[in-house]
Amino acid sequence: MSPQPDLLYSEEEEALRAAVRDLLTDHCGPADVLARVESDAPHDLSLWKSLADGMGLAGLLVPEELGGHGATHREAAVVLEELGRAVAPVPYLASAVVATEALLESGDAELLGRLASGRAIGVLAVGLHLAPGADFPVVDVEDGLLSGELTAVADAAAADVLLVPARDGDLYAVAAADAVVTPQTSLDLTRPVATVTLTGAPARRLGPAAPAVRRALRAGAGLLASEQLGLAERTLTDTVGYLKERRQFNRPVGGFQALKHRLAQLWLDVVHLRAAARGAADALATGADAELAVAVAQSFAAPVAVRTAEEALQLHGGLGMTWEHPVHLYLKRAKADSIAYGTAGAHRDAVAALVDLQAP
Amino acid sequence: MIVDAAELRRRTAELLAAHPPAETGRQAFLEARFDAGLAWVHYPEGLGGLGAPRTLQAVVDAELEAASAPDNDPRRIGIGLGMAAPTILAYGTEEQKRRFLRPLWTGEEVWCQLFSEPGAGSDLAALGTRAVRQDDGDWVVDGQKVWTSSAHLARWAILIARTDPDVPKHAGITYFVCDMTDPGVEVRPLRQITGEAEFNEVFLTGVRIPDSRRLGEVGDGWRVAQTTLMNERVSIGGMRLPREGGMIGPVARTWRERPELRTPDLHQRLVGLWVEAEVARLTAERLRQQLAAGQPGYEGSGMKLAFARLNQEISGLEVELRGEEGLLYDDWTMRRPELVDFTGRDAGYRYLRSKGNSIEGGTSEVLLNIVAERVLGLPAEPRTDKDVAWKDLAR
């Protein structure tokens, strides 16, 4: 039998979780998030500063000699669990994971250092829906200047630097100030997407685009499972708590067996999601079987996160339909996450190819 | 002294030197292993163990396997090892431990479990098999038990019976060791939908049990039985499987070997189930790692639920995948197998046998209640029988 992945959390990882949760409890409650997404600046950049600058979490995946913390995907996954629990509107996955992985592949030390320190927010300018290995759109390049339009780019509105694949097969860095970023009205208010329009924008060539994009999207897909885990766990916990309090027919609603069984089933799903998400994080950290571990986790995670959020809404009754109650923030994030970095179906196709279960 | 891995290796080498497996009879070797404390190292000295951490058993097992030493065929004596032994260890008298544990572990004596009854399934505590105390202090037992695996092979049974019908159901139960060779014990095979009879009905008529074979106090049998049932769940949760190690293995192999059977619909469903099986495997592995690290693993309560559903869906898909062959069945002959193999025989057998997975060892419905109440802390089901004497319950 091949060696088993380490699926537990170390003491250091639990300490990291506690620190992030404390910060989010104080600064990223449901009312804060709702107020933030209704404002003109949906990203919470002061929270981002605390996470990136204050706690040094933007550089977890970057080696120390490049200005990072030399940690692994296991620690980044724990941060993402907590950010998912809070549906925090910060560009952590986009900048500290996806853009960072692209730069690790293309080997740009200067830009990596800026992202790792949190001084700059980087965004890989491809649609959030792209699966690892999928074809990605490119912009035109002429005399080193980029022109073209890219859509559904997550967190682009918060970016300082855009990483843009061009028609010549290379990846370029473009200052956000040299691009026009137009927010799109997004289903997920906490991770809004935007179009990026380039008109003869100056750019710096980084290296071949395809391997950088593939690596970036694989890490994004793999660690997204941890965000989905945090989201599902929080949603379930809140729903269980509510159903213990809410009384109808002179008893707590949570005492009705039809609801108990649904909640127990969701708990079981979340337990499974934890194993899948830890499996993917550990595989990305060690490199062992990472492609399959990520595809398995993403085949499994989205349906669980969406189902948990949908059940949470239903079990909150009319309250769940109100704008005021935060359950919709979780539902919208869960549904958008089910498309992000490839749908479950796209990842199942990847699993089938990897384990030799060929289509007819 | 502290028994660590090195010490266990030393003792195992000593055992192998004194009783070379190639020249020692199987039973004699197993007895020598038990007496050396290498049977189950976490048991006390003198009872097959050395008081070592349970996780170190793997060290001994690996050394013995490398030396081609015989094992005690744990699947054949699973009820003894997994349920009777921990209960005897926790509640037995010194004399009972000495009498029962050695032949139980070596497999010389097979054990079965006389718990469920026709009228007491999920509501096990409602059981009606009566044990009546005699003037000499011994007990006479009358009643009927059901779903008893290995009853036709067993020398001993763990038995729970009602000793006081005048108190609420949980309070009037006592736990015994029953001699299956007693003339009042009648074992009848119970044929299942697979055609086989893994299980039996057991009729107890005037069975005499000396008081020295009582486990725990009179009236404390429900608490004693919790030890048995808890250990059953731990053993279900502690599995370690390789990828494709469970029910998904045979259907994945069929898919690869038989391209003519493939359709797009079956492909979608198969890959979905493959993913679920792989995640369930990781979940069981995570639980194993938690238990090994001494962390509480509530997940154990859920694993049986997950595997029951998966086994049923996967084997159902396999019957459908086989098309014309799925219309056939390998053999309906009535047999009494010694071992149960969920993934054995053909797809039709696996499909039918796995239907039992959501019933045996606690139905999925009861397990969902347990998760909801004990893990999530949701309100318990209304209990109308809590303060009613057993004899006054409606039945």
Q: Do B280 and A355 touch (CB under 8 A)?
A: no
Nearest by CB: A272 against B264, B289, B306: B306
CATH code: domain of residue B288? 1.20.140
**Euclidean distance between CA atoms A119 and A44, whole angstroms:** 15
Using an 8 Å CB-CB cutoff, list chain B residues near A8.
Answer: 286, 289-290, 293, 295
Q: Taking Cα atoms as reference points, which of B125, B224, B239, B110 lies closest to residue B172?
A: B125
pLDDT in tens, A240-263: 999 999 999 999 999 999 999 999
Residues B159, B268, single domain; the answer is no
Structural domains in chain B (count)? 3
DSSP state string for A130-186: PPTTS----BEEETTEEEEEEEEEETGGG-SEEEEEBTTSEEEEEEGGGSEEEE---
Residues B356, B242, single domain; the answer is yes
Look at residue A18 and tell me whether its pLDDT is greater than 50.
Answer: yes
Q: Do A351 and B373 touch (CB under 8 A)?
A: no
Residues B242, B210, single domain; the answer is no
**Euclidean distance between CA atoms A142 and B224, whole angstroms:** 81
B131 occurs within a structural domain:
yes
Residue A2's pLDDT band (cuts 50, 70, 90): low
Q: Do B279 and A271 touch (CB under 8 A)?
A: no
Residues B187, B256, single domain; the answer is no
Q: What angle do helix axes A344-354 and A290-315 make, rounded to 10 degrees?
A: 150
B306 contacts B282 by C-beta, under 8 angstroms: no
Could you tell me which residues come within 8 angstroms of residue B113 by beta carbon, excluding any fewer than 6 positions away?
B79, B83, B84, B148, B149, B157, B158, B228
Q: Which residue of A has its CA nearest to B278?
A: A296
Q: Do A275 and B369 touch (CB under 8 A)?
A: no
B83 occurs within a structural domain:
no
Residues B60, B121, single domain; the answer is no
CATH code: domain of residue B180? 2.40.110.10
Closest-CA distance, A249 to chain B, in angstroms, reads 14
Rg of chain A's alpha carbons, rounded to an integer?
A: 20
**By residue range, what is the domain housing residue B40?**
1-71
Q: Which residue of A has its CA nearest to B295?
A: A8
B372 occurs within a structural domain:
no
Last residue of a domain, one of B219, B251, B269: B219
Closest-CA distance, B319 to chain A, in angstroms, reads 17
Using an 8 Å CB-CB cutoff, list chain A residues near B279.
Answer: 272-273, 275-276, 296, 300
Nearest by CB: A300 against B264, B279, B295: B279
Using an 8 Å CB-CB cutoff, list chain A residues near B373.
Answer: 260
Closest-CA distance, A134 to chain B, in angstroms, reads 20
Residues B162, B257, single domain; the answer is no
A350 contacts A291 by C-beta, under 8 angstroms: yes
Look at residue A276 and tell me whether its pLDDT is greater than 90.
Answer: yes
Using an 8 Å CB-CB cutoff, list chain B residues near A352.
Answer: 267, 271, 274
Number of A/B CB contacts below 8 angstroms equals 127
The pLDDT, as a whole number, for residue B294 is 72
Residues B211, B254, single domain; the answer is no
Q: Taking Cα atoms as reference points, which of B253, B268, B279 lies closest to residue B343?
A: B253
- Whole-model pTM? 0.93
**Euclidean distance between CA atoms B283 and A49, whole angstroms:** 36
The token duo for A230 is: 């945090």
Q: Do B282 and A7 touch (CB under 8 A)?
A: yes
HEC string of B95-123 equals HHHHHHHHHHHHCCCCEEEECCECCECCC
| Catalytic site includes residue B232 | yes
Using an 8 Å CB-CB cutoff, list chain B residues near A4.
Answer: 285, 289
Nearest by CB: A267 against B243, B286, B375: B375
Torsion from C-alpha of B360, B365, B370, B372, nearest 10 degrees: 150
Using an 8 Å CB-CB cutoff, list chain A residues near B283.
Answer: 271-272, 274-276
B201 occurs within a structural domain:
yes
The pLDDT, as a whole number, for residue B237 is 46
Residues B117, B53, single domain; the answer is no
Q: Which residue of B has its CA nearest to A251?
A: B379
Interface test with A, best of B122, B314, B378, B381 (most A CBs within 10 A): B378
Closest-CA distance, B300 to chain A, in angstroms, reads 10
**Euclidean distance between CA atoms A137 and A125, whole angstroms:** 9
Q: Do A356 and B278 touch (CB under 8 A)?
A: no
Residues B209, B272, single domain; the answer is no
Nearest by CB: A254 against B242, B271, B379: B379
pLDDT beneath 70, residues of chain B: 1, 231-239, 296-298
Nearest by CB: A267 against B275, B286, B376: B376
The predicted complex's ipTM stands at 0.96
Q: Do B369 and A265 touch (CB under 8 A)?
A: no
pLDDT in tens, B29-39: 999 999 999 99
Residues B203, B251, single domain; the answer is no
Closest-CA distance, A257 to chain B, in angstroms, reads 8
Residues B352, B249, single domain; the answer is yes
Last residue of a domain, one of B172, B189, B219: B219
pLDDT in tens, B74-105: 888 989 998 999 999 999 999 999 999 999 99
Residues B117, B27, single domain; the answer is no
Question: CA-based diameter of chain A, in Å?
Answer: 75
Nearest by CB: B270 against A268, A296, A357: A357
Interface of A to B at Cβ within 8 Å reads: 1-2, 4-8, 240, 243-244, 251-252, 254-255, 257, 260-261, 263-265, 267-268, 271-276, 278-279, 296, 299-300, 348-349, 351-352, 355-360
Closest-CA distance, B318 to chain A, in angstroms, reads 14
Helix residue ranges, H only, chain B:
5-18, 26-35, 57-66, 78-79, 85-91, 94-106, 221-237, 248-257, 264-292, 300-321, 347-354, 364-370
B135 occurs within a structural domain:
yes
B78 occurs within a structural domain:
no
The pLDDT, as a whole number, for residue B1 is 67
The pLDDT, as a whole number, for residue A83 is 98
Using an 8 Å CB-CB cutoff, list chain A residues near B376.
Answer: 240, 260, 263-264, 267
Distances (CA, A) of A227 to A130, A295, B313: 17, 15, 29
B23 occurs within a structural domain:
yes
Last residue of a domain, one of B219, B252, B268: B219
Q: Of B31, B63, B117, B232, which residue is the catalytic one?
A: B232
**Three-state DSSP class for B156?**
strand
pLDDT in tens, A330-357: 999 999 999 999 999 999 999 999 999 9
Nearest by CB: A360 against B256, B267, B272: B267
Domains of chain A: 11-121 (1.10.540.10), 140-208 (no CATH), 212-354 (1.20.140.10)
B227 occurs within a structural domain:
no
Look at residue A31 and tell me whether its pLDDT is greater than 70.
Answer: yes
